[in-house]
Amino acid sequence: MQDVKIEQVTKYFGEAKGIDRANLHIAKGEFFTLLGPSGCGKTTLLRTLAGFYQQEEGHIYFGDKNVDRVPVHKRNIGMVFQNYAIFPHLTVFENVAYGLKARSIGKADIEKRVMEALEVVELAHLRDRQPSQMSGGQQQRIALARAIVIQPDLLLMDEPLSNLDAKLRLKMRAEIRDLQKRLNITTIYVTHDQEEALAVSDRIAVLEQGVIQQVGKPDEIYLSPVNRFVANFIGTTNFIDAEIGRYDAASRTATMRICDVTVTVPLLRAYEGKAIYSIRPEQLSLSDTAGGSGAEPRIAGTVETVTFLGEKVEISVRLPGGQTVLISERSSAGRNRQLAGGKHVSVRIHPEQSVIFDQHGKEVLKGYEQSGIADA
C-alpha cells in the first residue's frame, strides 16, 4: 500500500489538454474519487496514473518512488473498468488466476491466493463457472477479485458500476466501499455520478475541463463549494440573484438584497454589486406567515408545482422578479399536503446556511460556516 503524489501533471491530446496541471496527494488507504461531467479528464488522469498515457509535464510518485518512466505492468496496479474486461472463455478461477500466472507464481500459491480473493468477493463457490452464466454484478466481482489478487499497491476503478442496474449499483457500491476498507488499499475511483461519489469516498476531487476545481471530504464539497460549477454539479442548488450593498470594513459585513429582503451578511472581502446567493433546496423552508424581514428573513412567493417523492416533497416557488426556487421538505411535515400551485407562501432564506459567490460564480464571498447574519 502506498500514498500517491501527483505534481503539476499535464496531459495533452494534440493541442487539447486532457488534464491541466493536476496536483493531488492521496493518502495510504484512502478512497479517493475523481468526479466530473463527461469529458472533464477523469479517465485521462486515471490512465496517466496507470501508465497507459505518458504525461507531458509533471511527476507522479507512488510512495517515494517516481514512476514517470515505469511501464504499466511494473506499477503494481489493480484495475477495474466499466465493461468488466473479463475473459468469457475462461472460468471464474482462471480469470482471477490470469494476472498471477503472468507473474510466474507457483501453482499452490496461485490456488491459495485466488481462493482468498474469491472469498473476499463471495464467489468462491462459483469458481468453475463461466462468466457468461453470471449476472453483471457477479462479473464485476470477478473483475474486482482479479484486481486485488495481485496485492496491488494501488487500486484504480473507472466507472465500475455504470453497466449495472440502479438497485445493483447501490448494493455493489456498498460492497466496494466495505472491501476497500477491509483490505485498506489506496483506491482511486472515477465516476460522473455525484451521489455515488458522496456515498463511497473519503475525499473527492471535482474536475471541469481538465482542471481540478476542488478537493475535499464529501460534506465539505457539498456544503462549501468553492465556485458555482462545483455547487451546481454536486446535488441540487438554487442560485438566486443578489445585490451586495455597502461594505463595512470595521465589521467585515455588507448589506445584501435578495428580492424584497435585505440582510447583513459577513463577507470574506470587500465587495459591492451583483452576487449569487447559493442555497440547497433542503436549506430553504416554507413559512405560513407572509413576507417581510425579521429574525428569519422571508421572501413572498407563489407555489408553482408540488412533487411528491416519497420521503420528501419538492416545491417550486416563484419569487418576485420571476426567479424560481426549489424547496425540499420532509413529507411527514404534513403541511405540504395542503400546498398546491397558485398558493401564496413565504420562503425562509436562511442566510447563515448559504454560500455567496461573486457575480461570475468564480469566487466565494461568504462561506457556509460564516455566521453573523443580521436583519438589516
- The contact set with ligand ATP (CB under 6 A) reads 13, 18, 36, 38-44, 192
CB nearer ligand ATP, residue 208 or residue 241 = 208
Q: Least CB distance from residue 291 to ligand ATP, whole Å? A: 45
d(CA 197, CA 189): 9
HSE value, Cβ hemisphere, 13 Å, CA-based, for 120: 26
Q: Please identify which residue in the block is written with the cell numbers 461568504.
A: 366
Beta-bridge partner residues of 241: 276
Kindly state the smallest distance separating residue 30's Cβ from ligand ATP, in Å.
20
Find the shortest distance in angstroms from Cβ 4 to ligand ATP.
18
Q: How far apart are the first and last CA of the chain?
A: 55
Shortest Cβ 87–ligand ATP spacing (Å):
24
CA distances from 280 to 160, 320, 340, 343 (A): 29, 19, 21, 22
- Characterize the bridge pairing of strands 16-26 and 4-13: antiparallel
Minimum CB distance to ligand ATP, residue 32 (Å):
15
Work out how close the CB of 190 gets to ligand ATP at its nearest, in angstroms, rounded to a whole number. Answer: 6
Q: Please identify, using beta-carbon distances, which residue of 11 and 113 lies nearer to ligand ATP.
A: 11
**Of residues 352, 246, 276, 262, the one with CA closest to residue 254:** 246
Q: Which is nearer to ligand ATP, 40 or 315 (CB)?
A: 40
Scanning the structure block, which residue is given the C-alpha cell 487539447?
16
How many residues make up the chain in this entry? Answer: 376
Q: Quote the CA–CA distance of 18 and 9 in Å, as a whole number.
A: 10
Q: Which is nearer to ligand ATP, 36 or 266 (CB)?
A: 36
Q: Which is nearer to ligand ATP, 14 or 71 (CB)?
A: 14
* Nearer residue to ligand ATP within complex by CB, 20 or 175: 20
